[in-house]
Amino acid sequence: MHLTTSQKLMILDLSEESARQALELLKAVGARFKFPKQVYQPRVCVGSRYCKLGLVDTISFGDRTGT
């Protein structure tokens, strides 16, 4: 799970079914969502594991450097 500075939440490595279930659970407690085609804004690439523009695997890099 990754919390962003713009009050966003990113949950990585979910199966499609788990993502649907998480979405429904979050909706049930009042979370609101905007989907990619509804909002145009800069995006952050979190590394090559999750982003095709990533140059390094930031998770492994963080593990190696202790950050």
Query: Nearest to residue 48, comparing CAs of 61, 37, 57?
Result: 57
Give the start-to-end residue ranges of the domains of the chain.
1-33, 35-67
Identify the residue with better confidence: 3 or 9: 9
* pLDDT tops 70 at residue 22: yes
pLDDT band at 24 (very low <50, low <70, confident <90, very high): very high
* pLDDT tops 80 at residue 28: yes
pTM metric for this prediction: 0.43
Give the contacts of 22 (CB within 8 A, at least 6 positions apart). Answer: 11, 14
